């Protein structure tokens, strides 16, 4: 009789149970991480959001008091607007827009030169964030010899302090240059996996390079495009470290403050040590809820279930 | 319709000579097959004609127009790929309409032409489907339709039948040939399958390692192969090659092998008279040109392979085994002695070193 591994392992109910047991053993590490680093913090945040906890760490339950306060918080609406502006502008111009542009541009030129270009775009990602932010701050200084002012002086413009004059521009550039690399890597991989014959067929059929991009390449990378859009929306929604490092929400009152940063400021960085853990946690909870709702919307609208079932690039 | 002329055409990839100094003329309306094993440069040649690859050296002419620097879209070639290269995100209609859409033809003209060519190929009912919902044979017809709809001057086909099952392949072979004869479109057909090339093409260019071995009609390639490569490549049961040295005794030429002697018919003596005696040569004879049951030579039946209508009889002639094609009902036993002879006017003699044919 020939040895059949399948038969051997799942021949009776005992081995079948054992088999299932293994399943959980292998899933345990990742489940553990999700519980410890996501589920427990979310529950804690939600619970703290129901208190007016401060530096004394007392659980003073106030029910939905914080949430009612958010509705009355005149800054909350401005900050919500800021967040939406920040997320969608960075997403459109950099995390998806620029990423797509670089991927297409670098796959249509000599492969070696393309790789070099893409490597350069990875540098912001591998630079420590404080160093990276500092470089931008230097480049955007108000002095005439800073990089920005030197560049604009070529066109005869006067030196300005970029952080004070165009804070949003700086915030979006700083985040965008980091955020581009993620989409760039995924789009490039997707573009490179398009079988050569599709491109050749299109060329023979009379398509120009732009038409090949428009009619063949873009439709074929539709799924990676949707995935990066969804993933980066959620990622930008909760990001604040570079804004903290560059403008800290300023200049002035909440000019570039986003929701996640507001939550951080209230919870950990109030002047004079007035910390509002409770209120900050409530704000963070709302962010989690928005994130979850958007995930579900993306999942449904972009039909990610299909994406996971079968490969979308057919050979 | 146009004629195609390739002059000293070469394509090098770094140090690899994919195509080396190829000269080929394809007449207007002719069906030419580029035949050779994988890596012989046939697809590279096709892609140069399509304009996808730029030649390293040499010239490509359509009629008398130099095409080297003409972009693919201005060459008016229709191409069918081995993978079919149907765009998965487009319906069958959009796939076929794609070349016309790029030419910015009016919508109703596109609709009419797509319908016409789809009906012609028997896929008129499938226009709303996506390529993934089609069988291999249907996908292939869509690919053909896409190449035909633009009314090309030249039809380029890169192993179009190799992804089909054997039965469908035979059917499509005939259909393609019929279609080519109907439209009289100059066709260049790349294949590694000598049966396809023999059955379909007006002329066949046999390539090996980027070099043209022979260019001629199927009949010429079969009956008068220029070298041992062509002789071995053409023919469904491959030609027998018997090694030996050319000897001369009593005014007769003889091939002397390990354990066997074969007499070369007198008709060939004129050709052989300039060859030095003792030269290593190879005698080539096709299995269908080995007569069995009678004759001046004998060997032992080594093994018998029945094919139904025919059978292949392997005969051990002492140090060498040759194949003979016999009718299926011919009675023969393994291990028994068997007499055989060669059809005198059908033998070939090649130089062992160069592989070139003397006869």
Q: Do A204 and B50 touch (CB under 8 A)?
A: yes
- From A315, which residue of chain B is nearest by alpha-carbon distance? B83
Distance CA B186, CA B70 (A): 19
A190 and chain B in contact, CB less than 8 A: no
pLDDT of residue A6: 52
Cβ-based contacts of B77 with chain A (< 8 Å): 204
**Are the beta carbons of B74 and B88 closer than 8 angstroms?**
no
- pLDDT tens by residue, B224-263: 999 999 999 998 889 999 998 988 888 788 888 877 888 8
Tell me the per-residue pLDDT of B13-43, one tens digit each, with 9 for 90 and over: 988 899 999 999 999 999 999 999 988 999 9
Binary contact (B150, A314; C-beta < 8 A):
no
How far is Cα B224 from Cα B345, in angstroms, rounded to an integer?
Answer: 11
Instruction: Tell me which of A111, A198, A206, A315 to substitute to probe the interface with B (most B C-beta atoms closer than 10 Å).
Output: A206
Smallest Cα–Cα separation from B358: which of B234, B272, B267? B272
Tell me what pLDDT residue B58 has: 93
**Least reliable range by pLDDT among A46-55, B54-63, B191-200:** A46-55
* pLDDT (0 to 100) of residue A310: 52
Q: What share of chain A is helix, strand, coil (3-state, %, to 5)?
A: 75, 0, 25
B286, exposed or middle or buried, with CB in 10 Å at 0-12, 13-18, 19+?
A: buried
First-last CA distance in chain A = 39
User: Which stretches of chain B sit within 8 Å of chain A by CB?
Assistant: 47, 50-52, 71-73, 75, 77-79, 81-83, 85, 87-90, 98-99, 102-103, 131-132, 146, 150, 156
Judged by a CB distance cut-off of 8 A, whether residue A77 touches chain B is no
For each successive 10 residues of chain A (315 residues), what is the average pLDDT? 50 71 86 91 87 78 80 84 90 91 89 89 88 87 81 82 83 89 91 91 90 91 88 88 84 82 80 74 87 86 67 45
- Using the beta-carbon criterion (under 8 Å), do B89 and A201 form an inter-chain contact? no
The most distant pair of C-alpha atoms in chain B lies apart, rounded to whole Å, by: 82
**Dihedral (CA of B352, B357, B358, B359) sign:** positive
Residue B65 has pLDDT above 80, yes or no: yes
DSSP 3-state assignment of B60?
strand
pLDDT at site A268: 79
Nearest to B254 by CA among B223, B281, B224, B284: B281
Cβ atoms of B271 and B279 closer than 8 Å:
no
Model confidence pLDDT, tens digit, residues B113-133: 999 899 888 888 889 899 988
Residue of A nearest to B144 (CA): A201
Please compute, for residue B90, the number of CA atoms within 13 A of its CA located in the half-sphere on the CB side. Answer: 23
For residue A215, the model assigns a pLDDT of 92
Per-residue pLDDT band for B136 (boundaries 50, 70, 90) equals confident
Q: Are A176 and A168 in contact (CB under 8 A)?
A: no
Size of interface A-B (CB pairs under 8 A): 66
What residues does each domain of chain A span? 49-308
Q: Are B79 and B147 in contact (CB under 8 A)?
A: yes
| Contact assessment for residue B42 and residue B194, using Cβ atoms and an 8 Å cutoff | no
Q: Verify whether the Cβ–Cβ distance A206 to B73 is below 8 Å.
A: yes
What does each C-alpha distance from B275 to A132, A258, B249 come to in angstroms?
Answer: 81, 93, 15
Q: Find the length of chain B.
A: 359
B4-233: CATH superfamily: P-loop containing nucleotide triphosphate hydrolases (3.40.50.300)
Q: In the prediction, which pLDDT does B26 show?
A: 94
Q: What whole-number distance in Å separates Cα of residue A172 and Cα of residue A89? A: 7
**Secondary structure letter of residue B237 according to DSSP:** S
Inform me whether the C-beta atom of residue A194 falls under 8 Å from chain B C-beta atoms: no
> What is the model's pLDDT at position A313?
47
Q: Which CATH number does B240-351 carry?
A: 2.40.50.140
CATH number of A49-308: 1.10.3720.10
pLDDT at A314: 45
pLDDT reported for residue B1: 73
Distance (Å) from the C-alpha of residue A266 to the closest C-alpha of chain B? 49
Quote ipTM for the complex. Answer: 0.84
- Residue contact A207–B73, C-beta within 8 A: yes
| Interface check A204 vs B, CB under 8 A | yes
User: SS3 breakdown of chain B: % helix, strand, coil, rounded to 5?
Assistant: 30, 35, 35
Q: What is the pLDDT of residue A256?
A: 85
Q: Are A217 and A209 in contact (CB under 8 A)?
A: no
Convert the pLDDT of each residue in B342-352 to its tens digit.
Answer: 998 889 999 98
CA distance A17 to A30: 21
**Domain residue ranges in chain B:** 4-233, 240-351
Rounded CA gap, A211 and A99, in Å? 19
């Amino acid at each position: 009789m020939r040895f059949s591994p399948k038969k051997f392992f799942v021949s009776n109910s005992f081995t079948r149970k054992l088999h299932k047991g293994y399943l959980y053993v292998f899933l345990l590490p990742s489940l553990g991480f999700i519980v410890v680093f996501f589920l427990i913090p979310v529950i804690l945040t939600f619970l703290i959001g129901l208190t007016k906890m401060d530096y004394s760490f007392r659980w003073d339950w106030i029910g939905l008091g914080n949430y009612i306060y958010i509705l009355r918080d005149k800054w909350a609406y401005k900050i919500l607007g800021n967040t939406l502006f920040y997320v969608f502008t960075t997403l459109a111009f950099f995390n998806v827009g620029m990423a797509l542009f670089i991927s297409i541009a670098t796959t249509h030129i000599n492969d070696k030169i393309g790789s070099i270009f893409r490597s350069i775009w990875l540098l912001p990602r591998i630079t420590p964030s404080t160093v990276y932010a500092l470089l931008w701050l230097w480049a955007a200084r108000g002095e005439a010899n800073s990089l920005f002012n030197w560049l604009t002086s070529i066109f005869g413009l006067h030196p300005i302090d970029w952080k004070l004059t165009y804070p949003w521009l700086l915030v979006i550039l700083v985040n965008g240059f980091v955020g581009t690399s993620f989409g760039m890597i995924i789009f490039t991989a997707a573009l490179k996996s398009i079988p050569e014959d599709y491109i050749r067929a299109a060329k023979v059929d009379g398509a120009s390079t732009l038409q090949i991009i428009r009619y063949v390449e873009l439709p074929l990378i539709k799924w990676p495009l949707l995935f990066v859009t969804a993933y980066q929306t959620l990622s930008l929604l909760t990001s604040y470290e570079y804004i903290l490092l560059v403008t800290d929400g300023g200049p002035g009152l909440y000019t570039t403050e986003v929701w996640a940063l507001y939550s951080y400021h209230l919870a950990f960085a109030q002047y004079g040590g007035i910390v509002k853990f409770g209120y900050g946690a409530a704000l963070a909870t709302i962010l989690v809820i928005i994130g979850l709702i958007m995930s579900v919307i993306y999942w449904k609208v972009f039909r990610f279930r299909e994406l996971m079932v079968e490969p979308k690039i057919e050979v | 319709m146009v004629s195609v002329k390739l002059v000293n055409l070469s394509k090098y990839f770094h140090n690899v000579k994919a195509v080396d100094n190829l000269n080929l003329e394809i007449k207007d309306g002719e069906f030419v097959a580029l035949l050779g094993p994988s890596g012989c440069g046939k697809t590279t040649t096709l892609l140069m004609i399509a304009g996808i690859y730029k030649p390293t050296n040499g010239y490509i002419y359509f009629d008398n127009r130099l095409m080297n620097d003409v972009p693919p879209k201005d060459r008016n070639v229709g191409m069918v790929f081995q993978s079919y290269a149907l765009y998965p995100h487009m319906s069958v209609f959009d796939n076929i309409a794609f070349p016309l859409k790029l030419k910015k033809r009016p919508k109703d003209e596109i609709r009419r032409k797509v319908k016409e060519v789809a009906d012609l190929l028997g896929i008129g009912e499938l226009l709303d489907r996506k390529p993934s919902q089609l069988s291999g044979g249907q996908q292939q017809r869509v690919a053909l339709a896409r190449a035909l709809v633009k009314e090309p001057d030249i039809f380029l086909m890169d192993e179009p039948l190799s992804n089909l099952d054997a039965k469908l392949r035979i059917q499509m072979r005939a259909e393609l040939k019929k279609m080519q004869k109907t439209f009289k479109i100059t066709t260049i057909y790349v294949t590694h399958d000598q049966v396809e090339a023999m059955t379909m093409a007006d002329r066949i260019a046999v390539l090996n390692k980027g070099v043209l071995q022979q260019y001629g009609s199927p009949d010429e390639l079969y009956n008068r192969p220029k070298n041992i490569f062509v002789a071995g490549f053409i023919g469904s049961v491959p030609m027998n090659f018997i090694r030996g040295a050319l000897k001369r005794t009593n005014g007769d030429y003889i091939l002397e092998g390990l354990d066997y002697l074969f007499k070369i018919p007198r008709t060939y003596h004129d050709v052989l008279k300039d060859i030095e005696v003792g030269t290593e040569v190879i005698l080539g004879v096709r299995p269908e040109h080995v007569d069995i049951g009678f004759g001046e030579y004998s060997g032992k039946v080594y093994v018998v392979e029945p094919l139904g209508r025919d059978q292949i009889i392997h005969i051990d002639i002492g140090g060498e085994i040759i194949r003979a094609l016999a009718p299926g009902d011919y009675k023969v036993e393994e291990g028994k002695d068997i007499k055989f002879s060669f059809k005198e006017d059908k033998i070939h003699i090649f130089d062992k070193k160069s592989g070139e044919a003397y006869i």
